[in-house]
């Protein structure tokens, strides 16, 4: 066990500092409505979204109209982007749908993972996730990332691993981000998730360098081989800033009620969670932020170029709901989800629009093609956790700000770390072990990756830090 800790510290020393990022709080919610300017421009969308960002959000919103919005529900006033994802409902026993409360709005992380990162280009938009998925045909839980290869690193697999449902209980060690790719059932949540559930969504960050959008709003971007890190596939070698959504829902408020949780798109599994983004930063600003906001704290306060507004002001920014949706009660909807979207349990790919009552308009968009399942394993999940001594949990932020103090035991041991030409560790070789000192380190968990930034290691360590670049083939890594 001690050996492992030392090894992690050693790797961190070798690989230098962690990647920078900033965490953009969007404490206000600009609205909840059946609106989706990407999928259903100019008309009501099928399902309800929780929307954050520009007050210029509308059924026909574009980058230009978002930028004209008079406010944003996020902290940085230079950002008028729109961020939206399906809302979460509690379906009561009698069939009525009640909107679950969001805790602390939404957090939009901007991770600077990879090399030569650029901001989103003007007019950029994209969707992550697939609203019709109801199945997970990949191994559960995820195998270690070093073992991902073949189908494991296919885009359909990476897309599903980009979703996370984090069961929150601030009394115990946090679960890893993106550790569970389905929504736990209510029995499980009632028992374990006393602080609610956090939805997590990683967007693709490899871009074809050409198209700011595509007909499905997806095919101009892809995931890197480890979802948020790794190599970009051929043809998508432009690394964009990595966008990651986090939203906490107060599911525990329904502890004593009979019913189930369902996403607004009729998904009780979570596999159909998705999110949408339309870029709306002030021209040139995001690139300056990518270049300058490199403080590892992740706090927007530590980036000198951001103009910040108070949480109160974030909370005041809302968009006008169009007349045709004004009378729709999206908070408490009688007899089913808003728009009477049917709940589809899967595992089959959901039909595009299936209403619980007849007389609704037919679907106007053909559904995207379902991915080919390679193999199916039963859904089981082991709670992962990080060993930690102390941490300071806050109700509305994620794992990232939780600073964990941990004792690191430095061992006198030769550790050879073989890396490929991208710096990805391939193999380690260890000699005999002898404790030489202990020290305290600060461990920060970032979405899906544990990054250890140890205090200065004892001098003696240095002579054992070998860094061997060695080319070596292993499937799943490109050279």
Ligand X SMILES: *[C@@H]1O[C@H](CO)[C@@H](O)[C@H](O)[C@H]1NC(C)=O
Identify which range of 72-80, 180-188, 284-292, 315-323 contacts ligand X by CB under 6 A.
Answer: 180-188
Q: Comparing C-alpha atoms, which of 31, 134, 50 is closest to residue 100?
A: 50
| Residue 335 vs 423, nearer CB to ligand X | 423
Considering only residues 69 through 128, tell me which ones interact with ligand X, judged by CB under 6 A.
115-116
Sequential DSSP letters for 108-150: EEEE--SSS-BPPPTT-EEEEE-TT-----S-SSPPPGGG--G
Instruction: Decide: is 302 part of the binding site for ligand X (CB under 6 A).
Output: yes
Which residues are CB-contacts of 185 (< 8 A; sequence separation ≥ 6)?
A: 260
Q: Applying CB under 6 A, which of residues 188, 209, 458, 471 lies at the interface with ligand X?
A: 188
**Could you tell me the two tokens for 296?**
């590892």
Is the distance from CB of 133 to CB of 272 less than 8 angstroms? yes
| Residue 297 vs 396, nearer CB to ligand X | 297
Count of C-beta atoms within a 10 Å radius of residue 472: 12
Q: By CB under 6 A, how many residues form the interface with ligand X?
A: 9
Identify which range of 185-193, 220-228, 334-342, 450-458 contacts ligand X by CB under 6 A.
Answer: 185-193
Measure the CA angle with vertex 104, ends 100 and 110; round to 5°: 115
Instruction: Kindly state the smallest distance separating residue 379's Cβ from ligand X, in Å.
Output: 7
| Residue 60 vs 376, nearer CB to ligand X | 376
The beta strands (E) that lie in 330-369 are given as 332-333
| Residue 118 vs 388, nearer CB to ligand X | 118
Which residues are CB-contacts of 116 (< 8 A; sequence separation ≥ 6)?
A: 239
Identify which range of 46-54, 183-191, 255-263, 275-283 contacts ligand X by CB under 6 A.
Answer: 183-191
Identify which range of 34-42, 166-174, 195-203, 295-303 contacts ligand X by CB under 6 A.
Answer: 295-303
Instruction: Decide: is 291 part of the binding site for ligand X (CB under 6 A).
Output: no
Is the distance from CB of 411 to CB of 436 less than 8 angstroms? yes
Rg for the chain (alpha carbons), in Å? 23
Instruction: Kindly state the smallest distance separating residue 153's Cβ from ligand X, in Å.
Output: 18
| Residue 403 vs 433, nearer CB to ligand X | 403
Q: Residue 289 and residue 306: Cα distance in Å, rounded? A: 8
| Residue 338 vs 454, nearer CB to ligand X | 454
Instruction: Decide: is 297 part of the binding site for ligand X (CB under 6 A).
Output: yes
Is the distance from CB of 322 to CB of 333 less than 8 angstroms? no
| Residue 28 vs 230, nearer CB to ligand X | 230
Identify which range of 31-39, 64-72, 292-300, 444-452 contacts ligand X by CB under 6 A.
Answer: 292-300
Measure the CA angle with vertex 134, ends 132 and 140; round to 5°: 135
Count of C-beta atoms within a 10 Å radius of residue 443: 24
Q: Applying CB under 6 A, which of residues 70, 101, 185, 475 lies at the interface with ligand X?
A: 185
Identify which range of 94-102, 181-189, 442-450, 464-472 contacts ligand X by CB under 6 A.
Answer: 181-189
Q: Residue 397 and residue 107: Cα distance in Å, rounded? A: 8
Instruction: Decide: is 376 part of the binding site for ligand X (CB under 6 A).
Output: no
Q: Residue 383 and residue 175: Cα distance in Å, rounded? A: 7
CA distances from 38 to 15, 188, 300, 341 (A): 40, 34, 28, 19
Q: Applying CB under 6 A, which of residues 118, 214, 295, 356 lies at the interface with ligand X?
A: 295
Q: Comparing C-alpha atoms, which of 202, 404, 401, 203 is closest to residue 300?
A: 401
Identify which range of 69-77, 167-175, 296-304, 321-329 contacts ligand X by CB under 6 A.
Answer: 296-304
**Could you tell me the two tokens for 371?**
């991915």
Instruction: Decide: is 187 part of the binding site for ligand X (CB under 6 A).
Output: yes
| Residue 85 vs 226, nearer CB to ligand X | 226
- Give the residues lining the site for ligand X (CB under 6 A): 115-116, 185, 187-188, 295, 297, 299, 302
């Amino acid at each position: 066990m001690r050996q492992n800790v030392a090894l992690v510290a050693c790797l961190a020393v070798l690989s230098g500092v962690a990647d920078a990022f900033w965490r953009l709080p969007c404490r206000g919610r600009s609205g909840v409505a059946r609106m989706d300017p990407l999928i259903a421009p100019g008309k009501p969308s099928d399902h309800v979204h929780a929307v954050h960002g520009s007050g210029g959000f509308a059924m026909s919103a574009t980058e230009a109209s978002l930028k004209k919005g008079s406010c944003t529900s996020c902290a940085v006033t230079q950002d008028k982007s729109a961020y939206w994802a399906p809302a979460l409902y509690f379906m009561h026993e009698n069939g009525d749908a009640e909107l679950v409360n969001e805790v602390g709005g939404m957090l939009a992380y901007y991770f600077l993972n990879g090399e030569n990162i650029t901001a989103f280009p003007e007019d950029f938009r994209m969707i992550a996730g697939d609203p019709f998925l109801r199945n997970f045909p990949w191994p559960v839980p995820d195998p270690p990332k070093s073992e991902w290869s073949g189908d494991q690193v296919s885009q359909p697999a990476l897309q599903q691993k980009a979703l996370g449902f984090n069961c929150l209980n601030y009394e115990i060690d946090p679960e890893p981000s993106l550790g569970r790719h389905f929504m736990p059932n209510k029995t499980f949540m009632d028992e374990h998730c006393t602080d609610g559930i956090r939805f997590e969504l990683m967007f693709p960050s490899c871009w074809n360098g050409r198209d700011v959008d595509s007909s499905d709003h997806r095919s101009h971007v892809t995931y890197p081989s480890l979802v948020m890190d790794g190599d970009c596939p051929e043809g998508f070698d432009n690394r964009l800033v990595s966008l990651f959504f986090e939203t906490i829902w107060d599911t525990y408020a329904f502890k004593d009620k009979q019913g189930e949780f369902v996403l607004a798109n009729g998904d009780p599994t979570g596999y159909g969670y998705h999110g949408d983004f339309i870029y709306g930063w002030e021209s040139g600003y995001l690139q300056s932020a990518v270049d300058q906001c490199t403080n590892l704290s992740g706090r927007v306060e530590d980036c000198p170029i951001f103009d910040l507004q108070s949480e109160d002001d974030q909370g005041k920014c809302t968009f006008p709901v169009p007349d045709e949706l004004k009378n729709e009660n999206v908070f408490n909807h009688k007899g089913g989800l808003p728009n009477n979207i049917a709940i589809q349990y899967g595992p089959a790919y959901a039909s595009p629009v299936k209403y619980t009552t007849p007389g609704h308009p037919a679907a106007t968009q053909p559904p995207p093609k379902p991915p080919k399942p390679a193999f199916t394993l039963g859904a089981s999940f082991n709670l992962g956790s990080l060993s930690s001594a102390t941490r300071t949990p806050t109700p509305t932020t994620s794992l990232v700000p939780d600073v964990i103090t941990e004792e690191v035991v430095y061992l006198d041991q030769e550790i050879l770390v073989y890396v490929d030409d991208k710096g990805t560790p391939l193999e380690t070789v260890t000699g005999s072990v002898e404790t030489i000192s202990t020290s305290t380190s600060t461990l920060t968990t970032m979405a899906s990756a544990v990054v250890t930034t140890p205090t200065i290691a004892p001098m003696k360590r240095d002579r054992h830090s070998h860094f061997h670049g060695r080319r070596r083939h292993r499937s799943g890594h490109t050279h």
